[in-house]
Structure 1
Amino acid sequence: MDIELNAYYTMILATLVLLLGRLLIVKIKFLADFNIPEPVAGGLLAGVIVFVLNALFGLTFQFSTPLQTGFMLMFFSSIGLGADFARLKAGGKPLAVFLVVVAGFIVVQDVVGVGLAAALGLDPLIGLVAGSITLTGGHGTAGAWGPVLEAQYGIVGATTLGIATATFGLVAGGLIGGPVAKRLLKKIDHQRLAPIGQQTPVEAAAASQSLYSTRHTEAGDAPDSAMFDKPDEIRLITASSTIETLALFAACLAFADLMTIAAKGTAFELPTFVWALAGGVVIRNVLTTFFNFEMFDRAIDVFGNASLSLFLAMALLSLRLWELTELALPVMVILLAQVGVMMLYASFVTFKVMGANYDAAVLAGGHCGFGMGATPTAIANMQAITDRYGPSYKAFLIVPMVGAFFVDLVNAAVLQFFTQLPFLQ
């Protein structure tokens, strides 16, 4: 029996999933420790319930696709609207170098995924699902690419597989970041890196100041922490600012719709969500560069995060776990290989290219976080390291900007390239 639910009931169930996820995270420490998002925690449980109902009674559910698609496009628009290229200049050369390192890993991740999928007798496109679509991209990108792979390439269960794989990545990224960074610290002169709890207050203060000065001298930055200690005055989200922000989102969605239609059948044919992201980038940088328009980043983030949560809740309600039974073992092999590749890349590429110093070790731990999971996982990894060994202003400046904004632009370009390769068609 197929039960179809309209937009109203889809929205109601999605919000209930989010409330359930919040309750689970409060009650289950494991979910909080590994930064499992509320829609994922609640949605996976809802997916299991749907699986049981299907197994026992043969029930399947159809939810409002246009509503889910709209929230997905708003999320990717928020990423584009937040990608201010002036931040690349503010981050300086280290940020640009780290972005190149991250871009290189995205290519490696997809090569490993596609290669192992082909070797295991799977469709090579499944290697992209077990590659940068879900591991670097996270749940949002997994939910966006899943329907594309299902509709255009015939990959059954791509959305369900993507959500499951992205969840594995979150846990794995949180597990490996700390150990990788700690092992790297043994390679450098860390006489000043004794755990903070084992230092006297005078030694801890001197070590922190010395490390801070050394890092910023190496990076060519001025040691000014005012930007960290004195955030800008908070601008309130009012009715007027809400309308202003919604107008920006509307422009992104209109741009995405027009470009999807105009580019159909041409070499520039891209998934609609990629055009939404690109539209956000264009609108953001044109308005700020040529019109000195002050973007309300906090409002953009609020709308983007809310859209992502609702989109994921709806996507997870639509999970068809029974479609994954034949893929479970080979995909797990690919994922375990991806964990090993991430650890090796962070240790021998990220760490060395970024300077093979304390900051580089913290950056490597952060890279493990969003290379396998998401930016919050990266921040948690770095926080665990710096709480023990001292601050790393450079890492906390670079990783959030790359992980939250620029990596999605690079990942979209790399994935578009891979999906156009003849042997993957």
Structure 2
Amino acid sequence: MEFTLNGYYTLILATLVLLVGKFLVKRIKFLSDFNIPEPVAGGLVGAAIVYALNVMFGYSFNFQKELQTACMLMFFASIGLSADFSRLKAGGTGLVIFLVVVSAFIILQDVVGVGMAMALGIDPLLGLVAGSVSLTGGHGTAGAWGATFEDTYGVVGATTLGIACATYGLVSGGIIGGPVAKRLIGKLGMKPQEAAATATASNARSLDGAPNKTDNDDYSGEEIFEKADNVRLITATSAVETLALFAACLAFSDIMVGVAKGTWFELPQFVWALFGGVVLRNALTNIFNFDMFDRAIDVFGNAALSLFLAMALLSLKLWELADLAGPILVILLVQTVVMVLYATFVTYRIMGKDYDSAVLAAGHCGFGMGATPTAIANMQAITDRYLPSHKAFLIVPMVGAFFVDIVNVAILQGFIAFIA
């Protein structure tokens, strides 16, 4: 028996999933320690219930796709609207070099994924899913590309696998970052500091990625998309202005999908939403000196991502994964080893072979396999025991929060054009 739920019931169930996820993350230490997102924790429970109903009673559920798509587009528009390229100046040469290092790793990650998929006899596009789509990209990117792979290329279970791979990446990224940095710092002859130095590191970190900043000009770094529960001081006027910007990005994406259809620059709609946000942000701020309200963008972006993930996970068909679980796990284990080696022998060395570069390597493990919150947690664990790293806490949040998503989209388009 098949049930179809309209937008109202879909939204109600999505919010219930988020509440369940919030409860689970607060009560289960493992989930909080590894920064598992609340929508993922609750969504997997919802997906398991849907699976059980299908197995026991033959029930299946269809949720309104339009609402899920709108939330996805809003999230990617929020990334674009936050991508102020003038912030590259704040990071200096180190930020540009790190972005190049990360971009090269994304290419390697996809080469490994596609190569392993072909060797294991599965669709090469699933190799991308177990590559930068879910690992560097995270849950939001995994859900978006998964839907594209399913609808456009007929890849069964791409969304389900993407969410599963992204969850694996969050956990593994949190596990490997600390040991990698500890080994590198040990080679420098440094030892953990006493409590006084730890306090100094904590104070320095509050300057690098301060969670209590209120000035809009300083609102950047760790807080963007990473501290969803922090209080954001927004007004009705700023909310309306921000919604107008989102509407412009979504309208632009809708227009461009029609314009580009059948041409060489045909792209998924969420890519156009992201690109529209980038253009709008930098045009308004650099040409018209418009004061973008980042806090409102952050709030709407986080809310849209949470709802999108909740709805995507409710729509999962876990029974489609049985034949792919083994090969995908092999690919993910290889990706983990590649991340450790790359962070140790490439990220660390190119970024200077010093303490800051060791902390950067830990951060790269975090968002190279999982997400920026994992990167921040990895770096905090290191600086709590050793010394502050202003350079790492300036560079990693800016690269991981939005610049890497833009680069990842471009690289994925190239791979898809080659193998699809």
Classify the TM-score, shorter chain: over 0.9
- Cα–Cα, structure 1 residues 227 and 117, in superposed 2: closer, same or farther, change >3 Å? closer
Cα offset, 1:321, TM superposition: 0.4
Cα offset, 1:268, TM superposition: 0.6
Match of 2:223 in 1: none
Match 2:406 to one of 395, 409, 418: 409
In 2, distance between residues paired with 1:206 and 1:253? Answer: 45
Match 2:259 to one of 243, 248, 262: 262
In 1, distance between residues paired with 2:361 and 2:44? Answer: 30
Match of 2:85 in 1: 85
> Could you say what secondary structure the match of 2:133 adopts?
coil
Match of 1:251 in 2: 248
In 1, distance between residues paired with 2:41 and 2:120? Answer: 30
The percent of aligned pairs where both chains have the same amino acid is 69
1:319-364 CA distances to partner (integer Å, 9 max, x unpaired)? 1000000000110000000000000000000000000000000000
Is 2:275 aligned against 1:278? yes
In 2, distance between residues paired with 1:231 and 1:84? Answer: 18
Letter in 1 for 2:168: F
Q: Is the 8 A contact 2:209 2:394 kept in 1?
A: no
Letter in 1 for 2:51: F
In 1, distance between residues paired with 2:284 and 2:44? Answer: 40
Match of 1:58 in 2: 58
Match of 2:355 in 1: 358
> Could you say what secondary structure the match of 1:420 adopts?
helix
Cα offset, 1:233, TM superposition: 3.6
Match of 1:334 in 2: 331
Match of 2:342 in 1: 345
In 1, distance between residues paired with 2:153 and 2:332? Answer: 22
Match of 1:396 in 2: 393
In 2, distance between residues paired with 1:70 and 1:172? Answer: 31
Structure-1-length-normalised TM-score: 0.92
Cα offset, 1:206, TM superposition: 13
Match 1:238 to one of 235, 239, 243: 235
Match 2:297 to one of 295, 300, 314: 300
Residues matched between the structures, number: 401
Match of 2:228 in 1: none
Match 2:317 to one of 316, 320, 345: 320
Is 2:375 aligned against 1:378? yes
In 1, distance between residues paired with 2:88 and 2:215? Answer: 23
Match of 1:218 in 2: none
Is 2:15 aligned against 1:15? yes
Letter in 2 for 1:304: G
Q: Which runs of 5+ in 2 are unaligned?
A: 217-231
> Could you say what secondary structure the match of 1:131 adopts?
helix
Cα offset, 1:205, TM superposition: 9.1
Q: Is the 8 A contact 2:21 2:39 kept in 1?
A: yes
Match of 2:112 in 1: 112
> Could you say what secondary structure the match of 2:3 adopts?
strand
> Could you say what secondary structure the match of 2:292 adopts?
coil
Structure-2-length-normalised TM-score: 0.93
> Could you say what secondary structure the match of 2:187 adopts?
coil
Letter in 2 for 1:16: L
Match of 1:183 in 2: 183
In 1, distance between residues paired with 2:391 and 2:164? Answer: 33
Letter in 2 for 1:231: K
- Cα–Cα, structure 1 residues 230 and 54, in superposed 2: closer, same or farther, change >3 Å? closer
> Could you say what secondary structure the match of 1:62 adopts?
strand
Cα offset, 1:227, TM superposition: 8.8
| Correspondence 1:28-177 to 2 at 5 A | 28-177=28-177
In 2, distance between residues paired with 1:59 and 1:205? Answer: 55
Q: Which runs of 5+ in 1 are unaligned?
A: 213-224
In 2, distance between residues paired with 1:43 and 1:226? Answer: 33
Cα offset, 1:89, TM superposition: 1.2
1:293-315 CA distances to partner (integer Å, 9 max, x unpaired)? 11100110000000000000000
- TM-align CA RMSD: 1.7
> Could you say what secondary structure the match of 1:61 adopts?
strand
Greater Cα shift, 181-190 or 397-406: 181-190
Cα offset, 1:229, TM superposition: 10
Q: Highest Rg: 1 or 2?
A: 1
Cα offset, 1:274, TM superposition: 0.1
1:88-108 CA distances to partner (integer Å, 9 max, x unpaired)? 111100000000000000000
In 2, distance between residues paired with 1:229 and 1:411? Answer: 27
In 2, distance between residues paired with 1:229 and 1:336? Answer: 34
Letter in 2 for 1:111: V
